[in-house]
Amino acid sequence: MNEGSPARHELNELGEFGLIDRIRQKARLKVPNILKGIGDDAAVWDVGDHYELISTDLLVEGVHFDLAYAPLQHIGYKAVASNVSDIAAMNGTPTHIVVGLGLSNRFSVEAVDALYSGIHAACENYQVDLVGGDTSSSAAGLIISVSVIGRVEEHRVAYRSGLCPNDILCVTGDLGAAFAGLQVLQREKEVFLANPNAQPDLEKYEYCVGRQLKPEARMDIVHELKDMNLVPTSMIDVSDGLASELMHLSTQSNVGVKIFEDKLPIDHQTYDIALEFKLDPVTFALNGGEDYELLFSIRQSDFEKVKNHPDIHFIGHALAQTDQRVMVTKAGIEIPLQAQGWTHFKK
């Protein structure tokens, strides 16, 4: 470096969460009806008789998806579903989306139709309207930005910051399956590149591959919680891995968390794949990412309402000690949780 030239700091020194923190610190809210800015699954503003919600995702070819194994329909579907999941995580209902699309000239009209057929299928499934967008060319591959708007009644909104000591930590569905599916797809891609005549055999991995390629937002849970008249004390969607999401709840609520390894919901196919790859299924569950399940907390007094729900699992509870973030292993040993998450900006 030349003397006198300004210092250069690499983004990978900060990491994604460090960068978000840096941006958040400089973004002071000044508009009176904005209730929540950067730092939750969606931003929240008050429009009088309810709250509105907005969340945005930017998906870049080669970073978030690989056209070698992901069909365009599924990419379109997943782009919407992963955004809807952010609205679900606020205990809200999505209403409409806008979609920005960057397309290199390798994409045909038929390819764009395929992408939109997935977007429309997701809109239909989640009862969301596509209301606007922007299309442009792109020097390199496919870029998709989706912003989703939702709504929630004032007394039903769930923030990351509402977790209280002794609240029960709940997670929906199962964890690690999307990451397991990704391992299989990446292996099949390698096989195919080495031998283009090889026929991939994905049938026995169907569940996990499906979880990777076409995840669903858990709007069903949001509706059921409403029917049960239950408002979670805190909520977040599991997009970066359970450990990372637990850290967010803990940090923003200023409480500790304790979970139990033997309570983690892991599908048998996820187990099988992890073992096949000589990896630990619990690591898949803790750090896998892209499950789009909901992690939420309830008061102990609400436990009766949900205790028999077949798809809600009780994995632990919150602690008064802020710095305690632990998992109790099957052997009964407490180990500290570490948020690996998805790190963009890696070298």
Q: Which of residues 102-141 bind a second copy (CB under 8 A)?
A: 102-103, 105, 107-110, 112-113, 116, 120, 123, 127-141
Q: Which is nearer to a second copy, 26 or 155 (CB)?
A: 26
Question: Is residue 90 part of the contact set for a second copy (CB under 8 A)?
Answer: no
Q: Which is nearer to a second copy, 278 or 346 (CB)?
A: 346
Residue 148 bridge partners (DSSP)? 55, 97
Question: Is residue 68 part of the contact set for a second copy (CB under 8 A)?
Answer: no
**Range 148-187, binding a second copy (CB under 8 A):** 149
What is the closest distance, in whole angstroms, from the C-beta atom of residue 214 to a second copy in the complex? Answer: 20
Position among 1, 3, 20, 217 found at the interface with a second copy (CB under 8 A): 20
Exposure letters 218-253 (e unless 16+ CB within 10 A, then b): bbebbebbeeeebbbbbbbbbbbbbbbbbbbbbbbb
Q: Which is nearer to a second copy, 93 or 270 (CB)?
A: 93
Question: Is residue 227 part of the contact set for a second copy (CB under 8 A)?
Answer: no
Q: Which is nearer to a second copy, 187 or 344 (CB)?
A: 344
Task: Please work out the total of residues on this chain that contact a second copy, with binding judged by CB under 8 A.
Answer: 83
What is the closest distance, in whole angstroms, from the C-beta atom of residue 89 to a second copy in the complex? Answer: 13
The neighbour count for residue 24, using CB atoms within 10 Å, is 12
**Range 279-308, binding a second copy (CB under 8 A):** none
Question: Is residue 62 part of the contact set for a second copy (CB under 8 A)?
Answer: yes
Q: How far apart (Å, rounded) are the C-alpha atoms in residues 201 and 195? A: 14
What is the closest distance, in whole angstroms, from the C-beta atom of residue 255 to a second copy in the complex? Answer: 24
What is the closest distance, in whole angstroms, from the C-beta atom of residue 44 to a second copy in the complex? Answer: 8
Which two tokens mark 68? 């070698």
Position among 38, 68, 320, 333 found at the interface with a second copy (CB under 8 A): 38
What is the closest distance, in whole angstroms, from the C-beta atom of residue 24 to a second copy in the complex? Answer: 9
Question: Is residue 58 part of the contact set for a second copy (CB under 8 A)?
Answer: yes
CA geometry: angle 218, 224, 228, nearest 5 deg = 150
Question: Is residue 333 part of the contact set for a second copy (CB under 8 A)?
Answer: no
What is the closest distance, in whole angstroms, from the C-beta atom of residue 76 to a second copy in the complex? Answer: 12
What is the closest distance, in whole angstroms, from the C-beta atom of residue 8 to a second copy in the complex? Answer: 5
What is the closest distance, in whole angstroms, from the C-beta atom of residue 234 to a second copy in the complex? Answer: 18
Q: How far apart (Å, rounded) are the C-alpha atoms in residues 145 and 56? A: 7
Question: Is residue 14 part of the contact set for a second copy (CB under 8 A)?
Answer: yes
Q: Which is nearer to a second copy, 42 or 255 (CB)?
A: 42
Q: Which is nearer to a second copy, 116 or 159 (CB)?
A: 116
**132 burial level (CB within 10 Å; 0-12, 13-18, 19+):** exposed
Position among 99, 158, 184, 326 found at the interface with a second copy (CB under 8 A): 99
Position among 3, 4, 9, 332 found at the interface with a second copy (CB under 8 A): 9
Query: Which of the 8 DSSP states describes residue 62?
Result: T
CA 195 to chain centre: 34
84 touches 94 (CB < 8 A): yes
Which of 147, 169, 138 lies closest to 250, judged by CA?
169
Exposure letters 90-111 (e unless 16+ CB within 10 A, then b): bbbbbbebebbbbbeeebeeee
Tell me the Ramachandran region of residue 292: left when phi exceeds 0, alpha when psi lies from -120 to 50, beta otherwise. Answer: left
Position among 84, 143, 255, 273 found at the interface with a second copy (CB under 8 A): 143
Quickly list DSSP for 186-247.
HHHHHHHHH-TTPPP--GGGHHHHHHHHS----HHHHHHHHHTT---SEEEEESS-HHHHHH
